[in-house]
Chains A and B, each alone.
Chain A
């Protein structure tokens, strides 16, 4: 090899152009089993949630006159243990695959509509929380000074109250409506998004390329959009998954406590609450919506875990 300067520097740029799509496909092929499982589950949930109307066998609040009909007919769930002898009546009833609930509504239908409502509300809340927290966080990092000071101190104080407790208090005052729920949880959760996006953006703001843009005379909005946002996106995407899980669990917990999403809206948290007493008879009905929640959060966590591993690993590449 000759030693003129440019040729020494050639080596790093040797592998040429790579399209984003092929890069993503390559990463996907290398993804571990847990990540694949997670993605599969998430897509299945999204499908069910989006097409609840077509997937569900009955209407959301359609009541049948047989409360608790064949709720022991659960061949799919038999691994959960022996089925108590006294509920095994009507063994051939495939009319209600997972039985009916305490008011005689088809459990499967409720679960499917619950997917739409619960996931929809959680996604809306998380999006709002990111719009508020992410926007203000990046702005605080870029602006600095008193603007940053005031916001950061306010967030410190808000975070000194556990968010579930704060949410309970606010809901007791404003009452539980879906809109109230979304706004309250989003604002409380946005404090955490604020902290993260501010911290991540701080790391970018001190970079010389931001200073270069300032010296060039670029406006603040341009710097935020073109120089900072693309660099804070990967950690924020991962955080979106985690925040979604947290919001989803918080809303479910509130619904379970009876102060979240109100009946007759089908929602997994309240479904657990409504059918909770059945558990003492060895019936698994309340575990179905609870399991549905658990499965989704596990799936999201698996995907986020992989994504985090990927994005932090890429940084080591030289």
Chain B
């Protein structure tokens, strides 16, 4: 059984190969608004025993649906309409319902994206972990518990003997995800389907879970389908990668080939993202546009979220605020915009103190400071047309109306590469990236000096996110606007920032020009953060593990 991690791709002609899963011409339909339409349009998947196949694609590519179909399962609102699914030589689709049930959990197991939701809140973890082994009559309870404890240890969980006695809400997200992996591996299945197992986790936790999963798969000698939207993640764990798009296969190949020698243009684009690199402007010395001076902020009476934060940002430059969730980076945006008046410290803008409370700021002070949000879906009113969304700031700040206003809106639409045909569309008729562009146009309409960008690309598919970053850079060159860019992604920082501030538990760990902050010597936290974002490079994970100094913050 091959356990080589990045072995040569299984060539399609190899006769002696032990093919575990062979899906041919798979077609799946999905229902939306009473109409059935094809979401998987004839896909072939072949997985050799002992290997890991990565399925990658943007949202809507059909990758999760394929993963479930490998178990003969279709979610409500989906149905498998064509193709054969051979698992260990038998076509699952031809099996009866009860025969399929006997296969699930025993021979093929599943690891879901959100562990917090996929565990039953009413039962202890251990009972859920051993459930499949017992239901399929594979072992006695004692054996199953011993096996679970062995797996807990292998997955690096603390206190493997007792952690199973807890309830799901009593352990952290990263631990739950490992316990779910243990749950899947417990009955010794030959195939495990991982459906974005690290996506919902914090950046620094993601790597630890990824390592745990990788080691466990290889130690168990299991085969796996690993589904994700992140090519860099899948490159760390898969032997082969299949790129999917719009329910069709784009390219299939050995991991190294896909990463280093992609054939299709779409794959090349996927590999090519995160290669934007902004040469940093010099000028931290210049009179700053924004000066956050000794700010301490708290919600309510108890929780202090920011401790004595001092950062500044010159005109026409970008300051990236980096940190994981809970580090206080979004709170910083709320303090600067006046939504959360600080306990201590002041915000200076263009040399003047800004009133701490939003209500006390003048229209002019509000105009020069605009904001872009993480979720474009909820950042624009679904009941307003693009014309109104972008037009309102023009009307509000500059008193434009009628033809004059429409002309300016069209101009802005051109600027964000959409064009005036979008004037009368509702947000529901736009894609995620288009919505984010509309948000950018709305901010630009106020002709601001500073735009606060709160993770504007993290909810978007990688290629779309790339497009947004390029747009932001171009707009900065054109309009000399400054960005305060909040993110957890170091690659994004490299792409867009001039200076960087690393936040950890509400304190500034590191602040300075990008070249300085991202160059050694590092403090432990920056080191961890830098080594938490997978790079598009085979073997990166192993290198990082050797050099990393700090365990993830979640542990």
Q: Please give, as numbers and ranges, the residues of chain A lying within 8 Å of B417 by CB-CB distance.
A: 5-6
On whether A5 and B467 interact (CB within 8 A), knowing A215-B337, A230-B383, the answer reads yes
From B232-240, B319-327, B425-433, B541-549, give the one contacting chain A: B425-433
- Closest-by-CB residue of B relative to A230 is B383
Provide the residues of chain A in CB contact with B380, threshold 8 Å.
209
CB <8 Å contact, A215 and B431: no
Residue among B269, B366, B429, B470 making CB contact with A15, cutoff 8 Å: B429
Interchain CB contact under 8 A, B431 and A216: no
Q: Of the 9-residue stretches B124-132, B188-196, B202-210, B371-379, which lies at the interface with chain A?
A: B371-379
Chain B residues within 8 Å of A314, by CB: 33
Q: Identify which of B269, B446, B466, B467 contacts A6 (C-beta below 8 A).
A: B467
What distance in Å separates the Cβ of B166 from its nearest Cβ neighbour in chain A? Answer: 31
| Known A3-B265, A5-B467: A13·B429 in contact at CB below 8 Å | yes
Instruction: Provide the residues of chain A in CB contact with B269, threshold 8 Å.
Output: 3
Question: Given contacts A5-B463, A5-B464, A6-B417, is CB(A212)–CB(B428) below 8 Å?
Answer: no
Contact A230 B381 (CB under 8 A): yes
Please pick, from A9, A217, A313, the residue contacting B366 in the complex, using a CB distance under 8 A.
A217
Question: Given the known A-B contacts A6-B417, A208-B379, A216-B366, are A13 and B431 also in contact in the complex, defined by CB atoms under 8 Å?
Answer: yes
Interface check B358, CB cutoff 8 A = yes
Nearest B residue to A218 by beta-carbon distance?
A: B396
Contact A9 to B428, CB < 8 A, known contacts A3-B265, A227-B381, A314-B33? no
Assembled-state Cα–Cα distance A11/B433 (Å) = 11
Q: Are A208 and B378 in contact (CB under 8 A)?
A: yes
Residue of A nearest to B362 (CB): A217
A-facing residues in B386-428 (Cβ within 8 Å)? 392-393, 396, 417-418, 422, 424-425, 428
- Near B by CB (< 8 A), chain A positions 230-251 give 230-231
Determine if A65 is an interface residue (Cβ-Cβ < 8 Å).
no
* B339 contacts A by Cβ under 8 Å: yes
User: A11-B431, A215-B337, A217-B366 known; A3 and B381 CB under 8 Å?
Assistant: no
Other-chain residue from B32, B375, B378 in contact with A318 (beta carbon distance below 8 A)? B32
Which A residues are in CB contact (< 8 Å) with B464?
Answer: 5, 8-9
A-B contact number at CB 8 A: 95
Q: Is B382 an interface residue (CB 8 A)?
A: yes
Flag if B392 contacts A12 (CB, 8 Å): no
Residues from chain B with a CB closer than 8 A to the CB of A76 are none
List, in ascending order, chain B residues with CB within 8 A of A318's CB.
32
Query: Is residue B215 within 8 Å, beta carbon to beta carbon, of the partner chain?
Result: no
Partner of B378 from A5, A13, A207, A218 at Cβ < 8 Å: A207
Q: How far is the CA of A15 from the CA of B430 in the complex (A)?
A: 10
The interface residues of chain A lying within 8 Å CB-to-CB of B433 are: 5, 8-9
Chain B residues whose CB sits within 8 angstroms of the CB of A10 once the complex forms = 431
Tally of A interface residues using CB under 8 Å: 32
The CA-CA distance from A209 to B369 in the complex, in Å, is: 16
B33 touches A313 (CB 8 A): yes
Q: For residue A232, which residue of chain B has the nearest CB?
A: B383
Bound-complex Cα distance A8 to B378 (A)? 21
CA distance A303 to B464 in the complex (A): 42
A206 to chain B, nearest CB (A): 8
Contact of A209 among B265, B339, B378, B418 (CB under 8 A): B378
Judge whether A5 and B466 touch: CB under 8 Å: yes
Q: Is B434 an interface residue (CB 8 A)?
A: yes
Q: A207-B378, A230-B381 are in contact. Are A317 and B428 (CB under 8 A)?
A: yes
Chain B residues 453 to 505 lying within 8 A of chain A, measured CB to CB, are: 463-464, 466-467, 470
Given A9-B431, A209-B381; 7 other pairs, CB 8 A cutoff = A5-B463, A6-B467, A8-B467, A212-B373, A215-B369, A227-B381, A317-B428
Q: List 15 A-B contacts (CB under 8 A).
A: A5-B417, A8-B463, A9-B433, A10-B431, A11-B431, A12-B429, A12-B430, A12-B431, A30-B34, A207-B379, A208-B373, A208-B378, A215-B338, A217-B366, A218-B396
